[in-house]
Amino acid sequence: MKAVCLMSGGMDSTTLAYVAKDMGYEILALHMNYGQRTQHKELACARRAAQTLDAVDFVEISLDYFTKFGMSSLTDMDIAVEEGTLGRADRPNTYVPFRNANLISIATSYCESRDGDAVFIGVQSGDHIGYPDCTPEFIAAMQNVIKIGTQTEKEIKLLTPFVSMNKTDILREGLRLGVPYEDTWSCYDTEDTACGVCSSCLSRMKAFADLGIEDPIPYANR
């Protein structure tokens, strides 16, 4: 069994690849940058995790076309990343329109090309507000599209084991599986030391605090 794992280099998708491996899948690692601020750091983290997991393949692709559409602070360098709130804004300016449909479609093309069995993506409960392309309803609709729109006789499964979990649950699971969190990156804004104020940093910091564990990566505000 082979599964495409979307590996962003963040703590969720890295943990997810460890879960896929633990379920018995060989890993087809797929890393995508989309012109975001922290792309080099994220690539380095994803590559290291894929090596540790003995991934059978590592494909890196550039989706810099998102920069041509604008609108998100992640990809438009003229818009500052807003400071996060743990409750999340209704319309976070880090929203990249319909991003997960793009990511899942690409992963499915890759999966079908390599005769794979499943696609894993690390959406989670904390993303549901403000990101309609992270909800269980969206994932079910994408699974339906995959079933109808692929040629392969095996049905490619779209697996989201974290969809009802929060970041603290994910971290707990990752610690059980021995995920090296020093080799993951979550900050939306900076690459050397994490900013500690964007929404992604805030939720990561909260997960470690919830479990009373020290986060091994450096933060600017410490």
Rule CB under 8 A: say whether 149 interacts with its own copies.
yes
- Residue 11 annotated as part of some ligand binding site: yes
Residue 193 C-beta: closest distance to its own copies, Å: 31
For its own copies, the binding residue among 44, 79, 89, 101 (CB under 8 A) is 101
Going 192 to 66 to 17 to 203, the CA torsion angle's sign is positive
Measure the CA–CA gap between 205 and 213, rounded to whole angstroms.
10
For its own copies, the binding residue among 52, 93, 102, 166 (CB under 8 A) is 102
Rule CB under 8 A: say whether 208 interacts with its own copies.
no
Q: Which stretch binds its own copies (CB under 8 A): 14-22, 44-52, 109-117, 162-170?
A: 109-117
Query: Could you tell me how far CA 71 lies from the centroid of its own chain?
Result: 20
**181, 192, 189: which is closest to 13 by C-alpha?**
181
Measure the CA–CA gap between 74 and 159, rounded to whole angstroms.
26
Rule CB under 8 A: say whether 93 interacts with its own copies.
no
One character per residue 31-50, x = contact with its own copies (rule: CB under 8 A): --------------------
Residues 6+ apart with CB under 8 A from 199: 82, 83, 84, 85, 86, 88, 92, 94, 188
- DSSP string for residues in 118-156: EEE----GGGTTT-GGGSHHHHHHHHHHHHHH---SSPP
Binding site for its own copies (CB under 8 A): 59, 61-63, 65-66, 68-71, 91, 95-102, 105-106, 108-110, 112-114, 132-133, 135, 137-138, 141-142, 144-146, 148-151
Residues that constitute the known binding site: 7-17, 187, 195, 198, 201
Residues that constitute the known binding site for ATP: 7-17
